[in-house]
Structures are given as C-alpha cells and as structure tokens.
Structure 1
Amino acid sequence: MNRSDIIIPHNLYDELIQICRLELPYEACGLLVGTPYQINSIWPMKNEINSPNRFFVSKPIVEETIDKVKSLKQDIIAIYHSHPSTLAIPSRIDIINHLDKSVDMVIISFKENDPIMKWYRIIGGTYKERPFLII
C-alpha cells in the first residue's frame, strides 16, 4: 500500500456499485465522504435530468448536502458518477463541469459485464488516474 492510496472498505465499494446499478440506464451521482485517505460513507444524490450520459444536481441540493457533510466534520473526497454505456474515463463535459480541484472524480463504468471503477484527480482541464484500494 502506497501512502497516497485511497482506501475504500469492500462493503462501501459493493454499496456504491449497487447504488449505480439501480439507476441504470441513467447516470448515478453523489459524494464519497471521509478523511483524506479513507472513504467512510457514500452520499447518493438524485440525477435530476435522468440522462444516460450526463448528471445534474441543483445548486441548493448540493449546498445542503455539503453543509450536512461539514456538520459531521467529514470531508468530501470525491464526486462519483456512473457511465452506463461508456468507459470509466472523464468526458470533456465531466472535466469542464468539475469545478473543485481539491475534490477527486470517481467514475463507475457499466460498459462491460463487470463494473469498472476509476479514480481521477482533475486539474487544469486534464485528468490523472489515482490509485485506490478496496479492502
């Protein structure tokens, strides 16, 4: 294990896959919350546009959720969303709409039989894959 690896407990990984699977054929979205290197909870959010290739959550809902997370003295580590039929690679729109460089992006792809999850740091209009461990 590398010091920069992010740890996701296996039960939370399974829960995340299930949350995203239940939203198919639309994109699912939400927040991964915890401490800098450990995910402690998943905060699903409703994709208000029911789209298979985009997600949207209104600003008041996002702000309310962020306030709740902060009140629990937890950090938002990543924004997750699913790609129902494309690879787990950030799209141009994903990158443009990702406004907080201190929060990572997680994408779960259902293009293949088994879901594939990738973790990214988005900086300056580009992305870099980050390591994570499911334990």
Structure 2
Amino acid sequence: MTDTISPEKRSALMSRIRSTNTKPEMTVRSLLHRLGYRFRLHRRDLPGRPDIVLPRHMKIILVHGCFWHGHGCRLASKPKSNGEYWSTKIMSNKTRDVKNLAALEAAGWRVLEIWECEVRRGEGMEERILAFMQAP
C-alpha cells in the first residue's frame, strides 16, 4: 500500500513528534513532584538518557510511548504504509531499550518502566510509583 500523504507533509508531521517533554512524561513528572520527589531529566551521562532520574534514591523512571517502543496495546498499532521500515525501526528501539535497561541495572540503578497507555488510564499510577520509590 502506498502512502497517501506527500513526503513533505509526512516529514512535517513527523518533525512535530517530541522525544522529550511528552504529555505522558509531564504527567508522571507532575505526580512525582506532588509526592515530594525531586529529580533530574534526561541525564546524558547515563545509558539511553533516561526520562526521569532520582539520583538520591538511585532510581530511574522511563516513560515509554507505546507506538515507538512496541508495546502490545492498541496505541501501538502498525502503520499501513511502509510496514517493513516501521517493523525494523520499532524492533531496533526495543533492542536498544533492553540494552540500556541492562546497562542501567548493571550500574546499580533500579528502573521502573511506565507505558503511555498506563499513564492515560491513570488507574493505580500513584500507588505504583509510591511502591517503586519506597522499595529498597
């Protein structure tokens, strides 16, 4: 199936997609701040530039977009055009995520992964974060 949008229009659309300060990330950051936790953002000296870093607690929170990181929910639907490109792209993202997670854990960090769909639902998000932060 061919793409129905011109390459220029597709490029303009894709350029508006953020990699930092996404809505789910901002929601999690707001919740953490309300709970009294202070954090650093996107530390370049850590593998994968994690979204939220809590250095005092040696904990990291990764907020993954369901489409970009290949989650199994409805938000991670496969594009109808250029399927081979997107399959390769998402698989490489997943491979990179596994590698970065292993490197962070090997360095002594505890990591919580939160998916975009979980943030949208919002159910139990505060309890999950509190349990993660209070765990040794």
> Does the TM-score normalized on the shorter chain lie above 0.5?
no
Higher gyration radius (CA):
2
Relative to the length of structure 1, the TM-score reads: 0.32
Larger strand fraction of residues: 1
Relative to the length of structure 2, the TM-score reads: 0.32
Larger helix fraction of residues: 2
